[in-house]
Amino acid sequence: MNAPFPPRAKKRLKIATATLGGCFGCHMSLLDMDERFLERAKLVDFDRSPLTDIKHCGPCDIGLIEGAVCNAENVHVLREFRAHCRTLVAVGACAINGGLPAQRNPLDLGGLMRKVYCDRVDETAQIPDDPELPLMLDKVYPIHEIVRIDYLIPGCPPSADALWKFLTDLIEGRTPRLDYAHFRFD
Amino acid sequence: MSEILAQLMLDGHKIAFEPGQTILQAALAAGVYIPHLCAHPEFEPHGSCKLCTVVVNGRNGSACTIKAMPGQDVLSDTPELNLRRRTLLQMLFAEGNHFCPGCEKSGNCQLQALAYDLEMFDPHFAQFFPAREADGTHPEAFLDFNRCIMCELCVRASRDVDGKNVFALAGRGRDTHIIVNSPSGKLGDSTFSIHDKAGQVCPVGAILPKEVGFVRPIGERLYDHDTIAEVALREDATWREGEK
């Protein structure tokens, strides 16, 4: 009488990934899945990502964001991802709490820029002001302080196994969870 | 008249206690872990971190300060309490600069281990990013106030065990901070030694011994394989064995 629901046909999912203020370490971890990545690639298509070189994100099922929000361009990219991704995932320490880029936060930004670009033996020493360069933000922000985030994968970077487990859970429709060995902040 | 048994109910299980024990001590002795941060078996309970909050006969209280009594019905491992504990941890993470990948204590840190145990994925709240100082003047120890959680374990250890009174809390509210008892306010000018109890007791990476940094690499550390519950129960058993 209580017949189970018939299984739905598997649909190909679209995934987009981006690095804001980060080191691409989390993307390296993604590639670290090795042949499992190819297996996963049979089920998903990649939209905007450093792996595809597509410049703008279209409608996607899952968006993965690595890195913290450091400048105006990061804000644009992040908002574009939030607008187009049904599920947005913060990947790694920088995206979750600011991480390494946020270590500049207790310091004055102007003083920092002068220290880096002006305090050197160079006749043209000045803070770069090309209009194409995105403006720095006053502070570095974790991405959840700019847009709503659905899931987070901690780690610096999260291991390939952690990413695999998390994405597999997500793609197969389970609530993602990490076991103790893969729940790492370092 | 029949004797009243020294037993209480913890999460629906009967556990025996010795008169004088707190609920936390009784639970640990019975092999049940209650998350805690500022409590330490060798010191007077402090009751400040509130992580060990349990419900005793319908009322909230700190398991580290409430004495175990017959007839108590204690709830600890419930979704509501664990959610509140996680929120407390998130507040601790958001109000300091806890950057785990750059911390020598990572893997040995109780704050981090509790976050692992309670599955704290993010700090949830907006980060304070406070401007706090670090003090490298002492030859044996590095003092990094960015990671201090004001548990006062170093204050208690220095005062009660070492008899030196090197550390104290100053300021109020979010301006609360640790100060060092020396003419310059620097650790290097104080009577502190890394072999003091105060040098060993920091649960986070605020008081770090120098020259040992990554001798034990990340991935092979205390909480990398064992949960804080396993470590705490093991350490409590060792401590009680030593007391006998």
Residues of A with CB under 8 A from a CB of B: 90, 93, 96-100, 102-103, 105-106, 139, 141-142, 144-145, 149, 151-154, 156, 177-178, 180-181, 183-186
> 3-class DSSP state for residue B210?
coil
> Chain B residue closest to A107 (CA)?
B131
Q: Are A142 and A67 in contact (CB under 8 A)?
A: no
> Chain A residue closest to B122 (CA)?
A96
Is A7's pLDDT higher than 90?
A: no
Chain B residues with beta carbon closer than 8 angstroms to that of A178: 119
Q: Residue B134: beta bridge partners?
A: B144
pLDDT band for B1, please (50, 70, 90 cuts): low
Strands (E), chain B: 7-10, 13-16, 53-56, 59-62, 73-75, 134-135, 141-144, 167-170, 177-180, 207-209
Closest partner residue to A105 (CB to CB) among B115, B119, B129 is B129
The least confident of A2-6, A144-148, B23-27, B135-139 is: A2-6
Mean pLDDT value of segment B213-231: 94
Closest partner residue to B129 (CB to CB) among A90, A93, A106 is A106
Chain A residues with beta carbon closer than 8 angstroms to that of B99: 93, 97-100, 102-103
Query: Is there a contact between B106 and A185 if contact means CB atoms under 8 Å apart?
Result: yes
The least confident of A167-176, B29-38, B72-81 is: A167-176
> Chain A residue closest to B220 (CA)?
A181
Q: What does the domain layout of chain B look like in residue ranges?
A: 7-82+231-243, 98-225
Is B174's pLDDT higher than 70?
A: yes
What's the confidence (pLDDT) of residue A4?
80
Is A51's pLDDT higher than 90?
A: no
Q: Side-chain half-sphere of B152: how many Cα atoms within 13 Å? A: 15
Closest partner residue to A186 (CB to CB) among B93, B121, B218 is B218
Closest partner residue to B121 (CB to CB) among A139, A152, A156 is A152
Mean pLDDT across chain A, nearest whole number?
92
Is B224's pLDDT higher than 90?
A: yes
Is A40's pLDDT higher than 80?
A: no
Q: Span B7-82+231-243: which CATH code?
A: 3.10.20.740
* Amino acid at the residue A51: L
What are the residues whose beta carbons fall under 8 Å from the beta carbon of B8, sequence distance 6 or more? B14, B15, B17, B23, B26, B68, B69, B70, B71, B72, B73, B74
Distance CA A170, CA B36 (A): 33
Closest partner residue to B116 (CB to CB) among A103, A156, A183 is A183
What percent of chain A stands above pLDDT 90?
75
Q: Side-chain half-sphere of A72: how many Cα atoms within 13 Å? A: 6
pLDDT band for A1, please (50, 70, 90 cuts): low
What percent of chain B stands above pLDDT 90?
91
Mean pLDDT value of segment A90-98: 96
Is A5's pLDDT higher than 90?
A: no
Per-residue pLDDT tens for B137-153?
999 999 999 999 999 99
What's the confidence (pLDDT) of residue B232?
95
> 3-class DSSP state for residue A30?
helix
DSSP H helices, B43-202, are: 79-95, 110-117, 153-156, 197-200
Is A121's pLDDT higher than 90?
A: no
Phi, psi of B35 (to 5 degrees): -55, 135
What's the confidence (pLDDT) of residue A31?
92
**Candidates 3.40.1390.20, 3.30.365.10, 3.20.10.10, 3.30.70.20; CATH matching B98-225:** 3.30.70.20
Query: Is there a contact between B127 and A97 if contact means CB atoms under 8 Å apart?
Result: yes
Chain A residues with beta carbon closer than 8 angstroms to that of B95: none
Is A41's pLDDT higher than 90?
A: no
Per-residue pLDDT tens for B66-114?
999 999 999 999 999 999 999 999 999 999 999 999 999 999 999 999 9
Is A39's pLDDT higher than 90?
A: no
Q: What does the domain layout of chain A look like in residue ranges?
A: 13-103+136-180
What's the confidence (pLDDT) of residue B206?
96
Topology annotation, domain A13-103+136-180: Rossmann fold (3.40.50)
Please tell me the distance in Å from A47's CA to the nearest CA on chain B.
26
DSSP H helices, chain A, are: 25-31, 35-41, 72-84, 93-97, 109-117, 160-171
Strand A85-91 and strand A60-66: the pairing is parallel
Q: Residue A89: beta bridge partners?
A: A64, A151
What's the confidence (pLDDT) of residue A43?
83
Q: Are B173 and B124 in contact (CB under 8 A)?
A: no
What is the 8-class DSSP label of residue B149?
-
What's the confidence (pLDDT) of residue A92?
96
